[in-house]
Amino acid sequence: MITEFAPAKVNLGLAVLGRRGDGYHEIESLMATLDLGDRLTFEPRPAGVTLTVRLAEPGWPELTAGPDNLVHRAAVVYLEAASRALGGPVGGVRIELEKRLPIAAGLGGGSSDAAATLRGLARLYPAGLDLHALAARLGADAPFLVLGGVALARGVGEVLEPLALPPVPLVLANPGLAVPAGEAYAGLTGRFGLPLDLGGIVSALERRELPPYRNDLEPPVLERFPLVGEVKAALSAAGLYGVLMSGSGSTVFGLARDGEGAREAAGGLARDHPGWWVRVARVGSGVGGNGPVVS
């Protein structure tokens, strides 16, 4: 049996630069994986793909385990490509997904699960495949999440420039609201931004200062989902800085000066908002672990 960790990601700035002729949006984003996420296990079987999903939180909406699930799709993509590369069927797989991240939350959970599936199957059935190219078929975040760590993503997310950041503690909060990415992008209605101040963002993060970042998807999401604005206000009131929505939402994160400050802020948020999903994490890591549970 093989186990893979599927880390969450945050967007330390997300600029939507325009809409391409193929309908996708041109973006620029500083992405970072975290030290919490989902877990997947893989076991070989003679043929086919079987997926089981276990939800870590009671009351979360059920997640399909069929062909529409990104994990299932990623497994099919890998097994078909491996069979072609090796000149014959390579076998099948039984996958168990332990879902610890909220769904449609702006944390890249589904894409990270798909990326972990590619990595797991590459260990189970080695075939020398280009996992980055396979991941690009599964979603905009998937190529970065095959790589992990910290990277500047351009294009639709597939052009990656790895970067280095020191570990930075932060607090994540999700109010239990799912925001489909398509709705967030549809709300832009031509309101496109300029490129990020990458140097300024990296320098501020290194010095634990307020980063000059923004998320161009945040204004349309706040217009349609005012609850996200309430989460932002709560994180700021808890003493966190650089409070920003991640991805297309609805998860919001705030930076802390140190780990103790992050834990104190998270504890207060969890007490004041018992229905929210609240976690402490670190950027600049993204390997192993699952982060402290504080809610």
Output the pLDDT for position 284: 63
Cβ burial of 165 (10 Å; 0-12, 13-18, 19+) is: middle
Q: Which domains does the chain have, with CATH numbers?
A: 2-159 (3.30.230.10), 165-283 (3.30.70.890)
Output the pLDDT for position 164: 92
Digit-coded pLDDT (tens) for 73-102 = 999 999 999 999 999 999 999 999 999 999
Percent of the residues in the chain that have a pLDDT greater than 90, as a whole number: 82
- 35 catalytic residue (yes or no): no
Question: From the candidates 9, 99, 113, 216, which is the catalytic residue?
Answer: 9
- 68 catalytic residue (yes or no): no
**Residue in 33, 289, 275 with CA at minimum distance from that of residue 176:** 275
Digit-coded pLDDT (tens) for 101-131 = 999 899 999 999 999 999 999 999 999 999 9
Question: Residue 273 carries which side chain, given as an amino acid letter?
Answer: H
pTM as predicted: 0.93
Question: From the candidates 35, 38, 113, 141, which is the catalytic residue?
Answer: 141
Question: Residue 134 carries which side chain, given as an amino acid letter?
Answer: L
Tokens encoding 272: 């004041």
Mean pLDDT of the chain: 92
